[in-house]
Amino acid sequence: MFGKYEGGGGIDLAFLVLKNAGVYVDSGANIGQWFLYLGHIEALKSLAFEPVRSENAWLAECVSVQSQWRVDLFNYGLGSEEAELDIQVNGARSTLQIDWYTAENYVREKIAIKRLGTVLESLEIASVDFWKLDTVGAELEALKGAREYLQQRKIGTIYFECHPSNYQEISALMGSFNYGIFDLVDGQLVKKMDTDITEMKDLVAIPL
């Protein structure tokens, strides 16, 4: 309906990485916008994480009629450890950051949180080719939950949303795993040299 209304450059990058198949992780899958462009790739193995009940149900219905797509859909979010947390429900902007949007007074849901590393090990998945990480403020914790895979550089490309409040911590964490952080400019990766960001933006991390 909307085309690449959000994350268009990221979708193009994902298709470039995954065009010959691989393992794709979509955390913050929402209603499956990215799957419209990636789901048809032959032999692509996809893991979709969407904890908000309404969005998960929408995505489940879509996936159910696409029998050729290999999508495992999970109704929980990703973090640094198993937990049960409140999420503010606001469609694609739903967030675990309870101190955000306080004036709007959004409805909250209780959701389960699991570690990506634990999930991948349980599914006997040795590596991930592309991880789209859009958890609206919880990206740092999700990355910590994949520590063992990042330490061994078993996650190839990470396209992640980053908030000014967590950029420096994410940069330091990824640097400790020998990943570089890049801007995506007109389809090209440009090494990020800034020590901070001033607004929410999408970035790319890849092993050096």
Where are the chain's structural domains?
Answer: 8-79+116-207
- Looking at residue 93, its pLDDT comes to 75
Spell out the residues 6+ positions from residue 104 whose beta carbon is closer than 8 angstroms to its own.
90
- Looking at residue 7, its pLDDT comes to 67
3-state secondary structure of 173: helix
Instruction: Tell me the pLDDT of the chain (208 aa) as tens digits.
Output: 566 766 689 999 999 999 999 999 999 898 888 998 999 999 999 999 999 988 899 999 999 999 899 999 999 999 999 999 888 788 777 777 777 777 888 888 898 999 999 999 999 999 999 999 988 778 999 999 999 999 999 999 999 999 998 999 999 999 999 999 999 999 999 999 888 899 989 999 999 9
Nearest partner of 150 among 105, 180, 114, 187, judged by Cα: 180
Q: Is 74 exposed, middle or buried (0-12, 13-18, 19+ CB in 10 A)?
A: middle
Largest Cα separation within the chain, whole Å, is 46
| Residues 36 and 29: beta-carbon distance below 8 Å | no
- Looking at residue 157, its pLDDT comes to 98
The CATH class given to the 8-79+116-207 domain equals alpha beta
Q: Cα–Cα distance between 8 and 58 in angstroms, integer?
A: 21
